[in-house]
Structure 1
């Protein structure tokens, strides 16, 4: 792969939707003052969501490979990509906090919620902001990894390790508030549903 070495400053959100699941809560507008291009990756025939672009895959190829395809399909104007599982509820200003932290840490490739701010060995991609030029420098996820039902996921550990070897950082941002709806997941997202609850505050769906 010959990655593009320059991207614009636009922001996109990529979500891999589980089959027969309701759309994620409408918390995104409160998370950032910036316009966001929303991309839903779907393998189960879920109905389209107004305002989102749907990337339909004919089969479940695994979450890492699905995200790789979605990010690769974005135009070069998009330099920042948020990855969020469907059950993530963004707190007010959460994405703006991640973007501000990225400006403070120019070598940060992945930024996500954490207890304290600064470099960490790994970060969960269930809710994370990625710097696209860094992502491309390591060709994104290794698509050979499938979700194992462990925390951390091997795909996340491998990605963070390769980014570190390439000179990039994973950075925790405590001011980025997110929560997670405590509903069961299925298919490619089940391990991330369990792992995400260990990193953010659960909330109930009434």
Structure 2
């Protein structure tokens, strides 16, 4: 009697890769994420959807449609890092590699297999990231340097008004070639992480609700002796990258708060107090200017919609 082939995730064919995505009413983006993921790897995959409070039914539909998908309700909007930590905790502990990705990612065929092959070439890689494109095909600068106090402040203050300034160029690593190489940090919109490395630094710092959580992750991986490796032969498209929030004041405030936290955490102690005070004051002033400009731009395109609820911004709109 001929036995039936084992399904992915069975005892004889266990998942070798875990995929975690955080949702917040992601709609059809989640469907496209899972559809393209099927062609991204030949390996058995366990998928965990960590849902931060969707009301569109998309996570439930995905779990019903796919046998390898597990839905976890986080109990509230934990932000991207907190949601990811909850999702990773749900994975089989024997899984060696974990994909961390936004639900608005669309995978190129074979892209995850390419990342796994690169992980074999770089045994000290704690995180590996693909080349990420915008919907129009342009390359998003997803492999960057870790900002120090000078470059970080220069980028924060001048990045929006003088895009070609040297501090922003250095931070974005614009002049670097599209070759496989170690970098400072990789965009958290699509990452392959080694489970031992991720667990070894306790995953994402959940104090970052959105923005800078991936910079912090990459920096802490490097400080723990791991590499962040850019793999441009693997490709993914970020469908909503740089999307504009209906409530820019919330997005901009979250971004500035995270920027302060990242730099302040790395300049602790009484000796750095004047620097932290100056940084906080400078970022507060820039935040007010940025919010004012964003609201004016919003009014120029359509009538602004006044906030009707305290719902925080969605994690997938963070980049």
Query: Which TM-score band (shorter chain)?
Result: 0.7 to 0.9
Match of 2:225 among 158, 167, 174: 167
* Larger RCO: 1 or 2 (CA < 8 Å, sep 6+): 1
Maintained 8 Å contact 1:24/1:89: no
CA distance in 2, matches of 1:188, 1:88: 13
Q: 1:131 Cα shift?
A: 0.3
3-state SS of the aligned residue for 1:143?
Answer: coil
Match of 1:10 among 8, 16, 20: 16
- Aligned pairs, number: 180
1:77 aligned residue? 94
Q: 1:9 Cα shift?
A: 7.5
Q: In the TM superposition, what are the counterparts of 1:1-206 in structure 2 within 5 Å?
A: 10-19=16-25, 21-22=27-28, 23-25=30-32, 26-42=35-51, 43-45=53-55, 46-47=57-58, 48=60, 49=62, 50-51=65-66, 52-114=69-131, 115-147=178-210, 153-182=211-240, 184=243, 187-191=314-318, 195=319
Say which is worse superposed, 14-23 or 163-172, in terms of deviation.
14-23
Q: 1:24 Cα shift?
A: 3.4
CA distance in 1, matches of 2:197, 2:220: 10
3-state SS of the aligned residue for 1:37?
Answer: strand
CA RMSD of aligned residues (A): 1.8
Say which is worse superposed, 13-22 or 67-76, in terms of deviation.
13-22
Maintained 8 Å contact 2:26/2:103: no
Q: Which runs of 5+ in 1 are unaligned?
A: 1-7, 148-152, 196-206
CA distance in 1, matches of 2:122, 2:26: 39
Say which is worse superposed, 168-177 or 38-47, in terms of deviation.
38-47
Q: Which has a greater percent of helix?
A: 2
Maintained 8 Å contact 2:15/2:44: no
TM-score, scaled to structure 1? 0.81
